[in-house]
Amino acid sequence: MRMTETMKAVRVHEHGDFDVLRIEDLTVPNVAAGQVRIRVAYAAINHLDTWVRRGVPGHEFPLPITPGCDFSGVIESIGEGVNNCVVGDRVAVAPGYNSTPFASAHTPCGKVSAPT
Protein backbone atom coordinates (compact mmCIF):
# COMPACT_ATOMS: atom_id res chain seq x y z
CA MET A 1 0.00 0.00 0.00
CA ARG A 2 1.39 3.41 -0.99
CA MET A 3 1.50 6.10 1.69
CA THR A 4 0.21 9.57 0.84
CA GLU A 5 3.14 11.95 0.41
CA THR A 6 3.03 14.97 2.71
CA MET A 7 4.96 18.22 3.11
CA LYS A 8 5.31 21.04 5.62
CA ALA A 9 3.74 24.44 4.94
CA VAL A 10 3.24 27.69 6.81
CA ARG A 11 -0.49 28.53 6.77
CA VAL A 12 -2.69 31.44 7.85
CA HIS A 13 -6.30 30.56 8.77
CA GLU A 14 -7.23 33.95 10.27
CA HIS A 15 -5.89 37.48 9.99
CA GLY A 16 -3.64 38.73 12.77
CA ASP A 17 -0.10 39.12 14.05
CA PHE A 18 2.70 36.55 13.82
CA ASP A 19 0.91 34.21 16.21
CA VAL A 20 -1.61 33.26 13.48
CA LEU A 21 1.14 31.52 11.46
CA ARG A 22 0.88 27.73 11.71
CA ILE A 23 3.18 24.99 10.42
CA GLU A 24 1.02 22.20 9.01
CA ASP A 25 1.39 18.90 7.20
CA LEU A 26 -0.34 19.01 3.80
CA THR A 27 -0.84 16.40 1.12
CA VAL A 28 1.49 16.97 -1.82
CA PRO A 29 -0.64 18.22 -4.74
CA ASN A 30 -1.14 15.98 -7.77
CA VAL A 31 0.23 17.10 -11.10
CA ALA A 32 -2.56 17.62 -13.62
CA ALA A 33 -2.29 18.07 -17.38
CA GLY A 34 -0.54 21.33 -18.18
CA GLN A 35 1.13 21.56 -14.76
CA VAL A 36 4.51 20.87 -13.20
CA ARG A 37 5.37 20.06 -9.59
CA ILE A 38 8.21 22.12 -8.15
CA ARG A 39 10.24 21.19 -5.08
CA VAL A 40 10.54 24.61 -3.48
CA ALA A 41 14.05 25.59 -2.37
CA TYR A 42 13.46 29.24 -1.42
CA ALA A 43 10.33 31.32 -0.86
CA ALA A 44 10.24 35.09 -0.35
CA ILE A 45 8.09 36.68 2.32
CA ASN A 46 7.43 40.26 1.25
CA HIS A 47 5.27 43.23 2.30
CA LEU A 48 2.23 41.84 0.51
CA ASP A 49 2.43 38.62 2.54
CA THR A 50 2.48 40.68 5.74
CA TRP A 51 -0.48 42.81 4.65
CA VAL A 52 -2.53 39.76 3.71
CA ARG A 53 -1.66 38.03 7.01
CA ARG A 54 -2.73 41.10 8.98
CA GLY A 55 -5.81 41.75 6.84
CA VAL A 56 -6.47 44.74 4.62
CA PRO A 57 -9.62 46.77 5.34
CA GLY A 58 -12.03 46.53 2.42
CA HIS A 59 -10.35 43.47 0.86
CA GLU A 60 -11.37 39.84 1.27
CA PHE A 61 -8.66 37.20 0.97
CA PRO A 62 -9.62 33.53 0.72
CA LEU A 63 -8.33 31.69 3.77
CA PRO A 64 -6.36 29.66 4.49
CA ILE A 65 -3.39 31.07 2.61
CA THR A 66 0.26 30.12 2.44
CA PRO A 67 2.61 33.11 2.38
CA GLY A 68 5.58 33.10 0.04
CA CYS A 69 4.12 32.98 -3.46
CA ASP A 70 7.41 34.17 -4.99
CA PHE A 71 9.68 31.14 -4.94
CA SER A 72 12.34 29.11 -6.70
CA GLY A 73 13.05 25.43 -6.91
CA VAL A 74 13.47 22.40 -9.14
CA ILE A 75 10.83 20.75 -11.34
CA GLU A 76 10.33 17.22 -10.02
CA SER A 77 7.28 16.07 -11.99
CA ILE A 78 5.59 17.09 -15.25
CA GLY A 79 1.96 16.67 -16.26
CA GLU A 80 0.64 15.62 -19.64
CA GLY A 81 0.99 18.20 -22.39
CA VAL A 82 3.91 20.09 -20.86
CA ASN A 83 6.78 20.21 -23.32
CA ASN A 84 8.61 23.45 -22.54
CA CYS A 85 10.54 22.15 -19.52
CA VAL A 86 12.02 18.94 -18.12
CA VAL A 87 12.40 17.30 -14.73
CA GLY A 88 15.43 18.85 -13.05
CA ASP A 89 14.98 22.34 -14.53
CA ARG A 90 15.61 25.10 -12.00
CA VAL A 91 12.79 27.64 -12.02
CA ALA A 92 11.70 30.87 -10.35
CA VAL A 93 8.00 31.71 -9.97
CA ALA A 94 6.33 35.05 -9.19
CA PRO A 95 2.64 34.46 -9.98
CA GLY A 96 1.18 37.61 -8.43
CA TYR A 97 -0.36 37.05 -5.02
CA ASN A 98 -3.93 35.75 -5.23
CA SER A 99 -4.18 36.87 -8.85
CA THR A 100 -5.59 33.49 -9.86
CA PRO A 101 -7.41 30.68 -8.07
CA PHE A 102 -4.21 28.66 -8.45
CA ALA A 103 -2.07 31.24 -6.65
CA SER A 104 -4.40 31.49 -3.68
CA ALA A 105 -5.08 27.79 -3.28
CA HIS A 106 -1.93 25.96 -4.33
CA THR A 107 1.16 27.69 -3.07
CA PRO A 108 2.37 25.44 -0.29
CA CYS A 109 5.94 25.70 0.92
CA GLY A 110 7.27 22.23 0.16
CA LYS A 111 6.02 21.42 -3.33
CA VAL A 112 3.78 23.13 -5.84
CA SER A 113 1.74 22.07 -8.86
CA ALA A 114 1.88 25.02 -11.22
CA PRO A 115 0.32 25.73 -14.61
CA THR A 116 2.90 26.18 -17.36
For the 6-115 domain, the top CATH level (class) is alpha beta
Over pLDDT 70: what percentage of the chain? 78
CA distance 73 to 94: 12
pLDDT beyond 50 at 89: yes
| pTM score of the predicted model | 0.70
On whether the CB atoms of residues 66 and 101 are closer than 8 A, the answer is no
Q: Which of 8-17, 40-49, 50-59, 88-97 has the lowest mean pLDDT?
A: 88-97
Is the four-CA dihedral 24, 58, 17, 103 of positive or negative sign? Answer: positive
pLDDT number for residue 20: 96
- Per-domain residue ranges of the chain: 6-115
pLDDT beyond 60 at 104: no
CA distance 112 to 110: 7
